[in-house]
Structure 1
Amino acid sequence: MICENDLPMAVTGKNSRGGLIGTILCLFVGFVLRLAIILNQPNQLTEDRDVYLGIATNLAEGRGYSVPNSTSPTAFRPPLYPLGLAAGMMWFSPAIVVAGINLLTGVCTIWLTIGLGERLQLGSLRFVAAMLTAVDPLLVLYTAQPMTESLCTCLATLWLWSMMGLSMVGVARQDHSQRPVDSLCTGIVFGLLVLCRPAFWLIPLVWGFGELLGIAIRERKSPIRRWTRFPSVFATWASAGVGAMLVVAPWLIRNGIVFGVPILTTTHGGYTLLLGNNPVFYQEVVMQPWGTVWERESLLGWQQELESQIVRDLGAEASEIQRDQWHSQQAKKAISANPGLFIAAVGHRIRSLWNTVPQGDATNSTRGWGLQAVGLFYTAVLLAGGSGVILALRRADRRQWLPLYVLIASVQLAHLVYWTNTRMRGPLTPAVALLAVSVIPRRPSLTSR
Structure 2
Amino acid sequence: MVIKDKKKIMLVIFIAALLLRIIFIIGIGVVVKNPLLKEDFEYGVIARSLIKTGRYSAPILEVSGRGEPKKETHNYRPTGNQLPFYPLVLAMVYSISSNQLSFWVVTFLQAIISALTCIVIYLIGLKLFNRKAAMIAGIISVIYPLFLIHTARIVPETFFTFWLSLTALHLLLLKDVPSLKHQLISGILLGITLLNSNVIVPVIPFIGIWLFWLAGTWKEKVKRVLLVMATAFLIVSPWVIRNYIVFKEFPLMKTTSGINLCLGNNPRATGTFFLPTGEPMEDLILTEAWYKGHALSETKQDKILYDEAMVYVKENPQHYARLILKRFYYFTWFPPDNLLSKEGRLYKKLFKIPYGFILMSSAIGITLFLKRNSRDTFLLCAIILSVVALYSIFIVGHVRYRMPIEPYMIIFSAYTINAIFEKTSAHYFKRGQE
Q: For the Cα contact (< 8 Å) 1:255–1:262, is it kept in 2?
A: yes
Amino acid at match of 1:189: L
Say yes or no: does 1:255 pair with 2:255.
Answer: no
Distance 2:273 2:199 in 1: 25
Find the partner of 1:412 among 369, 388, 396.
388
- Identity between Structure 1 and Structure 2 (%): 23
Deviation at 1:75, TM superposition (A): 0.8
- Cα deviation for residue 121 of structure 1 reads 3.1
Instruction: State yes or no: 1:15 paired with 2:6.
Output: yes
* Distance of 2:247 and 2:92 partners within structure 1: 24
Structure 1 counterpart of 2:279, which letter? E
Q: Is the 8 A contact 2:324 2:392 kept in 1?
A: yes
2:324 maps to 1:346: yes
Note the alpha carbon deviations across 1:362-417, whole angstroms, 9 max, x for none.
45784xxx85553221111100001111111011x443444311211221221221
Task: Specify whether residues 375 and 311 from structure 1 end up closer, same or farther in structure 2 by C-alpha distance, changes over 3 A only.
Answer: closer
Alpha-carbon spacing, 1:316–1:434, altered in 2? closer, same or farther (3 Å): closer
Contact 2:17 2:143 in 1 (8 A): no
Q: CA deviation at 1:437?
A: 1.0
Q: 1:111 to 1:211 in 2, by over 3 A?
A: closer
Distance 2:91 2:415 in 1: 40
Of residues 80, 97, 108 in structure 2, which corresponds to 1:92?
97
Of 22, 25, 38, the residue aligned with 1:46 is 38
Q: Which residue of 2 aligns with 1:399?
A: 375
* 1:95 partner letter: F
Note the C-alpha offset of 1:18. Answer: 6.3
Does the CA contact (< 8 Å) of 1:30 and 1:110 recur in 2?
Answer: no
1:199 aligned to 2:203? Answer: no
Structure 1 residue 131 displacement after superposition:
2.5
Q: TM-score, normalised by structure 2?
A: 0.82
Please name the residue that 2:401 is paired with. 424
**8 Å CA contact retained: 1:38, 1:143:** no
Amino acid at match of 2:356: T
Alpha-carbon separation, structure 1, partners of 2:297 and 2:306: 14
The verdict on how the C-alpha distance between 1:91 and 1:211 changes in structure 2, with shifts beyond 3 A counting, is: closer
After superposition, the Cα gap between the structure-2 partners of 1:16 and 1:191, relative to the gap in structure 1 and judged at 3 Å, is closer
Tell me the residue number matched to 2:428: none
**Which residue of 2 is the match for residue 378 of structure 1?**
355
Distance 1:52 1:246 in 2: 24
Q: Distance in 2 between matches of 1:129 and 1:111?
A: 9
Partner of 2:87: 82
Matched with 2:281 is 299
- Where 1:150 maps in the other structure, the secondary structure is helix
Gap runs ≥5 in structure 2: 60-73, 423-434
SS at match of 2:116: helix
Among 31, 41, 58, the alignment partner of 1:67 is 58
Equivalent residue letter for 2:415: S
Distance 2:387 2:116 in 1: 21
**Equivalence for 1:242:** 230
Which residue in 1 is equivalent to 2:66? none
Conserved 8 A contact 2:206-2:379: no
Q: Distance in 2 between matches of 1:19 and 1:140?
A: 18
- Compute the displacement of 1:26 (Å): 4.4
Q: 1:273, 1:419 within 8 Å by CA — same for their partners in 2? A: yes
Q: Following the alignment from structure 1 to structure 2, what is the Cα–Cα distance between the partners of residues 308 and 16? A: 59
1:106 alignment partner in structure 2: 114
TM-score (normalised: structure 1): 0.80
**1:365/1:322 CA distance change after superposition, 3 Å:** closer
Q: Letter of the 1:88 partner, please give it.
A: V
Alignment partners' CA distance in 1, 2:9 and 2:183: 33
Q: CA deviation at 1:63?
A: 3.4
Q: Does 1:36 align with 2:27?
A: yes
**Which residue is equivalent to 2:64?**
none
Name the amino acid aligned to 1:181.
Answer: K
Say if 1:45 and 1:98, in contact at 8 Å, map to a contact too. Answer: no
Distance 1:119 1:362, change over 3 A: farther
Code of the aligned partner of 1:310: W
- CA RMSD in angstroms comes to 3.0
Post-superposition offset of 1:125: 2.7
Partners of 2:187 and 2:231 within 8 A in 1? yes
Counterparts of 2:146 and 2:135, CA distance in 1: 19
The within-5 A match list for 1:168-183 is: 171=176, 177-183=177-183
Residue from 135, 138, 145 that aligns with 1:130? 138
Query: Are positions 1:309 and 2:289 aligned together?
Result: yes
**Cα gap change, 1:202/1:39 in structure 2, threshold over 3 Å: closer, same or farther?**
farther
| Equivalence for 1:334 | 312
Q: Deviations over 1:228-261 (max 9, x none)?
A: 8432221111211232123201111211222222
What is the alpha-carbon distance in structure 1 between the residues aligned to residue 352 and residue 296 of structure 2? 44
Deviation at 1:85, TM superposition (A): 0.8
Partner of 2:152: 144
Q: For this pair of structures, how many residues does the alignment match? A: 399
- 1:144, CA displacement in angstroms? 2.2
Question: Using the alignment, how far apart are the partners of 2:261 and 2:249 within structure 1?
Answer: 20
C-alpha separation in 2, matches of 1:84 and 1:21: 27
Contact 2:16 / 2:142 at 8 angstroms: preserved in 1?
Answer: no
Distance 1:199 1:364 in 2: 21
- Within 1, Cα distance between the matches of 2:109 and 2:7? 31
Consecutive unaligned residues in structure 1, runs of 5 or more: 1-8, 172-176, 216-225, 444-449
**How many Å apart are 1:333 and its aligned residue?**
1.2
Query: 1:39 and 1:121, CA in 2 relative to 1: closer, same or farther beyond 3 A?
Result: farther
- DSSP-derived class of the 2:279 partner: helix
Q: Report the CA distance shift for 1:351/1:89 in structure 2 as closer, same or farther (over 3 A).
A: same
User: Alpha-carbon deviation of 1:298?
Assistant: 5.0
Contact 1:102 1:150 in 2 (8 A): yes
Distance 1:18 1:363, change over 3 A: closer
How do 1:360-371 and structure 2 match up within 5 A? Answer: 360-363=340-343, 366=346
